[in-house]
Structure 1
Amino acid sequence: MSAREEFVYRSKLAEQAERYEDMVQWMQKVAEEDTEMTVEERNLLSVAYKNVIGTKRASWRIITGIEQKEVEKKNESGKQLGYIVDYRKKIEDELKDTCNKVLAVLKTILARQDPSTAGESKVFYYKMQGDYHRYLAEFAKGADRQVAAESSLSSYKAAADNAKGLPPTHPIRLGLALNFSVFYFEILNSAEQACEVAKTAFDDAIQELDSLNEDSYKDSTLIMQLLRDNLTLWTADMPNQDGDDQEQQRQDDAEEQQEES
């Protein structure tokens, strides 16, 4: 067993044990090697970080909700609110640290890619890069939020440019459209642009649904359903965008778990 095979095996072992921090460590070693990652390896890397960041994002949403309720009770000067704010900031520091680690790994991986060629792997990595900049933008404020949002937009656009060569029904292309539309809706507050991205991806895929191969049928149709669900939410009750965020986040996460399984 080579060192690389050992890292992958240990990562799979950590995944089964649901020790995702350990899984991250092993897959980072694979990513740092000067060799293109296989589909299995890049999915393992994505799953590892997705589970680590997913837990922290969920914690942040819960604490932010508690903080908002405390503020609404007019307890701005109370000790309890201070404890909540300190805890939220602690979680945000952890989120920032995790996102920056992922983005550093992705920067290394993308630097190895041939700039003159497009392909599935480039779409995957640029999409992932866009996702983690988006996660930073979710809690950042001021100039930091603007930088994170601009970086996310740039990464998603690069992914979209490279995705033009993939079939409209390809799960990675559809997953990109789903997350890109979520970015427009949640980060840029542009429901119109979000709907346009989602509708275009859905309509293009529908036209070629008959040619969809069996291997990706389940993944592709699931993401198409999520795209349609989002369109229904975003167009039915536009004034209640804030209320739809948590539901949308569940859909976003469901897509990525499906794609990376």
Structure 2
Amino acid sequence: MARLVKEEEYTAKRNEILDAALALIYSKGYEQMAIQDILDQLKISRGAFYHYFDSKQSLLEDLIDRMAKETEQSLLSIVQDPDLLALEKFRRYFELSTRWKTSQKTLIGSLLRMWYADGNALFRQKMTAKSIRYISRIYESIIREGVEERVFTTEFPEQVAVIVAQVTLSISDAVIEVLRSQEPDRDPIQKAGMIMDAYTDSVERILGAPSGSLKVFEPGALEELFTAIRQESVPGNPGRKGSKKSPE
């Protein structure tokens, strides 16, 4: 019983630190947030912080993991719904994923420069690989149902699930890259929309799904993401280019 209490206390304190870090990321930006900011806010020692996290980056990894697990519960409710057919499950999955991105647009805008920095290539690769493993398991379940319902055509549900996961994740990267571009003669939202259409067509072909049956990324979310990304570069914004980085 005592051990259970200690585990609960450990989890509660760890979540308290994650909550504080998330609030600071929203208010200051990840690059400007220092471990000392968390210590000051929670009135804890540096040793106490390192009891839960090895570094600022490991804290970010755990924060992303927690957010992914929270989202997973909502996604699983869609996948496990016996009243939904496979195509509808995919549609609702993508719709929920888009809603999550727009609801977290401030956080996404704050983390963009850190995420795409050359020095974070290994971190980005690790997180992407982890996301593919997680997402592909959900996709595989839906794809197998779709094959049984004869709306998808593939003999390799497990492998196709991984491919579709890779494609859908790369959509976000491609869209964000366009929205971050500084080309004055191009309409970034229009170009991003064309990219989404091309990727969606690819996913439908990979699955053997009817043309126009899926919508991988809701177009209406582009304006919100574009606003968040542009704010990341506005003078006075913590995430802008050339801003001073946190020493930790």
- Tell me the TM-score normalised to structure 1 length: 0.30
Give the number of the structure with larger relative contact order, counting CA–CA contacts within 8 Å between residues 6 or more apart. Answer: 2
Q: Which structure features the higher share of helix residues?
A: 1
Higher-Rg structure is 2
- Tell me the TM-score normalised to structure 2 length: 0.31
